Chain A
Amino acid sequence: MELLEFARGPALTFAITIFIAGIVFRIVSLFALWRTKDSSAGSPREKSAFSAALREVIRRLWPQAVYKQDTMFELVNGYVFHIGLAIIVFALAPHILFFKDLIGLSWPSLPNNVIYAVSIITMVSLIAALVMRYANPAQRIISTFDDWFSWLVTFLPVLTGIIATSHLGARYETLLGLHILSVALLLIWLPFGKLMHFFLVFVTRSQTGAHLSHRGAQL
């Protein structure tokens, strides 16, 4: 019982604090840097920066036909674990209860066995991503501590979640405590590494979209 209390209490509070402060700080520090001003005359085809940015954010949800074949595995696998994680986080009944406690909102859940299946698929997909990272030379050479560790802290909550709900090994309270601790670890790490891409993706796609549209070189 003590582990669960600790995980639910101080550990989670601490993690959420770091999570929020870290993200805010990271965003502020990025936008505090000077930004280049482009004084070149735009192409007659230039769109407003906002619409060019929005267009690019949406367009890059799917690869250009030329590159589809080469990137298909990563594309599909990427979508599988991103959507899988979103379903697990937001559609499991106990998670919704947790959010209700935290922010006062709630929404309908999916049945537990559906989430269970999604979790298995997500785990398989994450493992496939890991194997790819190791086996594909292009990915491997650019892999750093951040990549391996970010994978681990993403994987652990899914794994501990499955173990806890299937009551494997230890007492449920202990398993749940471990699950919450793994989530705390994820929250703490998130602002410090590549997982910030959840936010940065909008920045970089927008930048490039506006940049290309300025040149009339929109794809």
Chain B
Amino acid sequence: MNANTQTVSDAQAAANKFLALNSGNLAAYLEACIHCGQCANACHFYEVTGDPKYTPAYKLFPMAKAHRKTKWPWSWFGGPSVTEEDLQHWEELIFDSCTMCGRCTQVCPMGIDIASIVAASRQAFAAAGRGPEDLREAAENVLTKGSPLGVTPAVFDGRVEWLEDDYEVDLPLDREKAEVLLTVSSIEMMKYPKSIVAMARLMNQARVDWTFSTEGYESTNFGFLSGKPHIAKHAIEKIVGAAEKIGAKTVVIPECGHAYGVLRWSGANILGRPLPFQVLHITEFLAQLKKEGKLKFNKVEGSLTYHDPCQISRRGGATEAARYLLEDCTDFREMTPTGNFNWCCGGGGGVQAMSRAADLRHKVFQIKMKQVEDTGADMLISACANCRLTMDDSKAYWKWDHELESLVELLAENLVEDHPHPFDAKPHLATNV
């Protein structure tokens, strides 16, 4: 039989992928781990279960094994290969129990970025046909329907129209030219449409020259989360194509942590060229508008606290934007720990989309409940629809009655509005953000 047509075993396919992704950066991380176990202290999965298999460094093992097998000096000793059993054993650890939140990196004395090894490992596992079924399906939907939750361009168009009618708000769609392309996450579109309305109201009030596009609206990236690079690239190409077509200088990512992380920090690398626009998270964008005096808010009554989405604060660098926007709250209380050190909600990295991980997620949410209760605040605010969905799910599971809201919705509710339909009135008053 021709060597090319010989079927490669799954384990071999995974090993090959590991090696293809094994850059010097990742190899350095793999080689440097001193197995001190400190990272366990930072991981919410270990924190709530006490199960040693959730030790972050343990998640490095399959890739480290593939690396040692081929790289000097260990290859001299003819080390073991990655096996089918390894893939079986680690699948849960690479997918269900890592939200790629980056907390472990903060505590690691070597500064090892375990989340980036987990991202590479997901690709290797996916190459071997492994990974939770529902996550894979969500990723496939991106190719066939344009969105993980099946929001096709026609559905998108219909939902936008419906929102415009129901909420009496202008939602510009497919304008030929615009400075700003606003994207959505299909989680919002299907479950939290009010936050889309809220973004639009804020944009309109600030007279931003913006539009939605049916050619590039979905900002979540399940290709990335499921370890399917071609799907990740496809999703990015759509946004880039739409933005280029309308000449957008800025692409705004809605309340979605990983959508921001992927486009902002990996977009250019996945695409293979620099992005022709700047990427801002909605909190960063709104903070800019507020700073420029284009948005004003009424005092927000009631006590509230803010959950930092990992990909926006710790791994995104936008920690301060939300605080600046929440300045007008009369009683804002920080959790402990907060900001870059805040605990993850338990549903990032696509874990929210894995039904079999639900129990584990609910356990993790106990940390958040405790954090919120300790502040004594009545309301919990976040800026990530994925966090929100995770927390809403777990809230229901624990019958926990704290209020949970999105930051953009809170801001829109307290917005000082002077033009009901400002966008129609003066579309030329674009901001130069």
Contact = CB atoms under 8 A, between A and B. Distances in A.
Given A41-B274, A70-B41, A137-B52, A29 B35 contact: no
Given A67-B42, A139-B37, A33 B105 contact: no
B72 A25 contact: yes
A219 B106 contact: yes
B278 interface: yes
B144 interface: no
B34 A217 contact: no
B293 interface: no
A55 to B, nearest CB: 11
B35 A64 contact: no
A205 B275 CA distance: 28
Contacts of B109: 60, 63, 78, 201
Contacts of B113: 207-208, 211
- Among the interface residues A41, A64, A194, which one has the most CB atoms of the partner chain B within 10 A? A41
Contact of A71 (B41, B279, B313): B41
A26 B28 CA distance: 11
A35 B23 contact: yes
In terms of DSSP, what is the predominant structure of the interface of chain A?
helix
B27 interface: yes
A78 B37 CA distance: 13
Interface string B32-52: 111111101110001000101
Contacts of A41: 268, 274-275, 278-279
A40 B275 contact: yes
Nearest to B51: A137
B317 A30 contact: no
A21 to B, nearest CB: 11
Contacts of A192: 73-74
A102 interface: no
Interface stretch (B259-267, B362-370, B398-406): B259-267
B340 interface: yes
Contact of A74 (B22, B33, B38, B267): B38
Interface range on chain A (Cβ under 8 Å from partner): 35 or more
Interface in A39-77: 39-41, 43, 45, 56, 60, 63-64, 66-67, 70-71, 74
Nearest to B318: A216
A67 B31 contact: no
B34 A197 contact: yes
B192 interface: no
A144 interface: yes
A38 interface: yes
Interface string A194-219: 10110011011101110100111111
A15 to B, nearest CB: 16
B111 to A, nearest CB: 4
A217 B315 contact: yes
A56 B107 CA distance: 12
A142 B265 contact: no
A205 B35 contact: no
Contacts of A203: 28, 32
Interface string B101-112: 000011101111
Given A137-B52, A141-B58, A216-B318, 9 more contacts: A41-B275, A66-B341, A67-B107, A133-B35, A142-B33, A197-B32, A197-B34, A211-B113, A217-B319
Closest 8 CB pairs of A and B: A216-B317, A139-B37, A138-B40, A33-B24, A200-B32, A217-B317, A137-B52, A208-B111
7 contacts: A38-B268, A40-B265, A40-B267, A67-B38, A137-B50, A138-B46, A201-B110
